Structure formats: structure tokens, C-alpha cells
Homo-oligomer: A and B are copies of this chain.
Amino acid sequence: MSSEDAGFSVALEEARQGSREGGVPIGAVLVSAEGKLLGQGHNMRIQKGSATLHAEISALENAGRLPASTYRGATMYTTLSPCDMCTGACVMYRVSRVVIGENKTFVGGEEYLKSRGIEVIVLQNKECQELMAKFIKEKPEDWYEDIGEEDE
């Protein structure tokens, strides 16, 4: 598993698209056990005024209604360590693996994912970190709102 992985490349392009739109630059993609792209998306807090469309929720939502069996063996790729809500979404649908672009900016529910039997891989991709660093420097209040934290 490396930053050249196809699923991760799609998630990273979603993060770049979020950045181009002036949004929180986090992307995600859900890939089935057979390697089929089921859904992709990026954080829509700013673009849609959304409190729940984090990247992972967007990817799950864009994947549409699926039978439970489709999530088994699936991988959620996300460019940033998933918050508690997105962690819970991965647990509820029982995806098998979460591949994370980086966790230097923020550490979410990685330990909880592992405790629920989900494999966690962190790539520490430099571009993911740079996208977040630029965004947080420019719009700190939007970032803290996105993770439910009060601005420091």
C-alpha cells in the first residue's frame, strides 16, 4: 500500500477538488472488496453549508443504498484521519479497512476502528498534509467548526 494506490489517488483528487472550491480539503472514496469504486466525495461544509457531509459521509452518501454485504471487505480511503462520526459510519457499515492519507494534522478514531476489527493503514502523504496546513492557516475558524472544536 502506497500513495500510488488507485483508490487513494481518487481520494487525493477529491481533496484537491475541495481545495479548489475553497472548502475543507479532505477527500474520500469507498472501494469494494473486488476493487470497484462504489462512491467518492469530499467535505462539503463550506460548499453546501453542511454539518455532516465530511468526506467519508459524502463518499458513503454518493455510493447510494447498498446491501450490507457490499460493505464487507470494502476499503474506505480518506485523506485525513477520520473524526468520531466518520469512524462510527465505517464501524456501522463494517468496512474491512480504512486507509488514511495522514494523521499529523488530526488524529481521529483510529484506535476505535482497530478495536472493532477494522484494519487501519496510515500513509503519511505529504500533499494531504500540505492541503490541510494551507487551509487551516487561511480559515482556522472553519476547520475548528468542522471537527466540533472551539477555535484556539
Give the A interface residue count (CB, 8 A): 35
Please name all residues of chain B whose beta carbon is closer than 8 Å to the beta carbon of A45 when the two chains form the complex: 65
Quick check: is A1 within 8 A (CB to CB) of the other chain?
Answer: no
* Cβ 8 A contact of A50, one of B61, B88, B94, B144: B61
Q: Are A65 and B148 in contact (CB under 8 A)?
A: no
Q: How far is the CA of A92 from the CA of B145 in the complex (A)?
A: 11
Please name all residues of chain B whose beta carbon is closer than 8 Å to the beta carbon of A123 when the two chains form the complex: none
Determine how close the nearest CB of chain B comes to the CB of A31; give it in whole angstroms.
Answer: 15
Q: Are A71 and B148 in contact (CB under 8 A)?
A: yes
Quick check: is A51 within 8 A (CB to CB) of the other chain?
Answer: yes
Quick check: is A84 within 8 A (CB to CB) of the other chain?
Answer: yes
Q: A109-B88, A148-B93 are in contact. Are A51 and B63 (CB under 8 A)?
A: yes
Kindly identify, within residues 34 to 86 of chain A, every residue whose CB is under 8 Å from any CB belonging to chain B: 45, 49-53, 57, 60-61, 63-69, 71, 83-86
Q: How far is the CA of A125 from the CA of B57 in the complex (A)?
A: 30
Q: How far is the CA of A52 from the CA of B92 in the complex (A)?
A: 11
Residue of B whose beta carbon sits closest to that of A148: B93
Having A67-B150, A92-B148, one finds 18 other A-B pairs with CB under 8 Å, namely A49-B65, A51-B66, A57-B57, A67-B145, A68-B145, A68-B148, A68-B149, A71-B148, A83-B92, A84-B88, A84-B91, A85-B88, A85-B91, A86-B88, A87-B88, A88-B88, A88-B109, A92-B147
